[in-house]
Amino acid sequence: MQEFGLKSEKRSLADMNITAAKAYWNLCPAELVEHALANGEGLLADNGAIMCDTGQFTGRSPKDRFIVKDELTESTVWWGDINIPFSPEQFDALHRKMLDYLKDKTIYVRDAYAGAHADYRLNLRVINTKAWQNLFCYNMFLRPNREELAQFEPNFTIICIPEFEADPAVDGTRQKNFAILNLSKRMILIGGTGYAGEMKKGIFSVLNYMLPHERGILSMHCSANMGEAGDTAVFFGLSGTGKTTLSADPNRKLIGDDEHGWAPDGVFNFEGGCYAKVINITRESEPQIWDAIKFGAILENVRCFEGTRTPDYTNKSVTENTRTAYPIYHIENALEPSIGGHPKNIFFLTADAFGVLPPISKLTPGQAMYHFISGYTAKVAGTEVGITEPQATFSACFGAAFLPLHPTKYAELLGENMRKHQVNVWLVNTGWTGGPYGVGSRMKLAYTRAMLSAALEGKLENVEYKTHPVFGVAVPQSCPGVPAEVLNPRDTWSDKEAYDAQAQKLAQLFIQNFAKYEEFANDEIMSGAPVVEAASK
C-alpha cells in the first residue's frame, strides 16, 4: 500500500486491518480540491467553492440508519422507528466486506476531533473513497495541528464508501444504502449513499449517546453565540423557525450553528464548521453564509446559471435541500476555540402557524422540560386539496432523529442545568399573530429581534408578567421596541372566542403528542403541560 501525507505514528491503517492501493493522509483543502477535480467528483464555481452532487440521496435516509443492538445498547438505547436495531454478527460481516472492497481502491484518511472541549471530545478517523467527502470532514470536524496529527490516536472510526452497496437479503439492511452505528466497537459504516450529512449526523448521534449516558453531559441540537460581555445564548428550533437567522448576529460571536454540549464549565461546539441550506440564499438574506461560500467550501447539489460557473441558488432541479459546508473560520465573527460559558438565556423558537403562542414568554424549569421534549412548531397549510389548516410538528428535544436515549434523559439534564446555573428559558413564537395562517400575519422579524435583545440585555427582568390561561407561561406585558398589544396573542385576534377555541385545539395536540413520553416523565415535567378544558378532552 502506498501512503502519502501526514500520518499518525501511533496507529496505522494496518492496525485497523485496512489495506488499499493508495492512502492519502490528512490532505489540506487545496490538495483535496485538486484530487476531487482530477477524479471528476465535481467542478469549481466562480466563487471558489467546489460543487459536488450526492447522487440518488440528497438527504439523510432515516429508515436506513441502524444501531447495533448488543450488551451495551440493549437496555440503554430508545429502540423504535428512530433507533432501529442491527445484529452484531451482520455488522461484522458487512465490515469485512467493506474492508475487502477497499483493497484495490484509493482512500482518503482524515484524523479529526468531534468536540471543542478537550475533556469530552472524540478522536475520529474517517476513511473516504471520495476526496470531496474527506474535505467535508475537514470542514465539519475540528482540525488537529501538525504535531497532534503525528501523535493522533483515534477512538472512533467512520468508513464511508458511497459506491459500496449492501445486499439487503444477505446483509440485513433495508435497502442497498445504510448507515450503521456500533457503539461498542466505536465505528460507523456508511455505504450506498453519497449524502455527506450521514457522517456529520452519525457522529452527532454517537455524542448524543456517550455524553449524557456515560458522562452526564447534556448534548443539544442547537445554535449558540456569545455577547461582548461574555454572555452565552443558546437557540433551539426546527426548520423554518429562524434559528440560523436569529443566532447569526453581527454583534455577537458565533460559537456554533448546530450541535453543542453543556459541560460543567460551559457550552462547547461539537463541530469545526457549518452545514447550511442555500436554497434561495442571497447576500441580503444571509450575508455571513454567502460570504463563507468561497475556496475550501463545498456546494452540494447546486446548479449554475446556464453557460456560467455562477451558482444559481434558486435552482431546485436536483433538490430543495441544496447545502454548503465550510469551516467555521470562514465566518468572520466566529469564536475559536468554539467554547462559551454557561448560558444565561435559552430560546426555544417555534413558528406557530395556529397563532396561539405569545411572541415571547418565560418558562419554569418544568415548562422548559415539557416544551423541550415536545419540540413544537407548525407548518403552514399544505397545497393538497382539503388541507386548509396549519399542521403541528413535534420533534423531541428539537432533534428526535438523532437521539439514541429516551428524550426525558436530555430533558432532565436540561432541568438540572437550568436550576444550577439560574438560566432563563424563553419560548419565542416567530410564527403568526392576529389569527392563524391565512387570517393573521407573520410576526415581524424586527419585533422578534427586539424581544431577543431585551431578553439578552436583562430588560425583561423587572417588567410585569401575566400567566397565559392555557399554556401557563409567563408573558411580559412590555418590551422595548415592541407594541404592547403584540405581546398578548389573544388581544391581536378580532374574534376572541375563536382564539380561545384555537388555543384549546393546540393544547390538545400537545397533550396527544406527549402521551408517548408520560410513562418516563417525572411530576415536574408533567407540571409544564397546558391546561385542557374538560369539555374538550
Query: Which residues are identified as catalytic?
Result: 60, 201, 221, 239, 243-244, 258, 323
Kindly provide the residue ranges of all beta strands, DSSP E only, lying in 50-201, ordered along the sequence: 50-52, 65-68, 84-86, 106-114, 122-128, 156-161, 178-182, 187-191
Q: Which three cell numbers stand for residue 504?
A: 384549546
CA distance 267 to 89: 38
Amino acid at 388: T
- DSSP one-letter code for 62: G
Exposure b/e, 296-310, CB count within 10 A at least 16 = b:
bbbbbbbbbeeeeee
CB 211 within 8 A of CB 218: yes
Kindly provide the residue ranges of all beta strands, DSSP E only, lying in 409-506, ordered along the sequence: 424-429, 432-433, 441-442, 465-467, 474-476
Q: Which three cell numbers stand for residue 49?
A: 467553492
- C-alpha distances (whole Å) from 202 to each of 108, 195, 250 are 19, 12, 31
CA distance 378 to 171: 39
Q: Which three cell numbers stand for residue 434?
A: 392576529
Exposure b/e, 97-116, CB count within 10 A at least 16 = b:
bbbebbeeebbbbbbbbbbb
CB-based contacts of 300-307 (< 8 A; 24+ apart in sequence): 300/52, 300/53, 300/54, 300/58, 300/196, 300/324, 300/325, 301/53, 301/54, 301/58, 302/45, 302/51, 302/278, 304/45, 304/51
CB 379 within 8 A of CB 353: yes
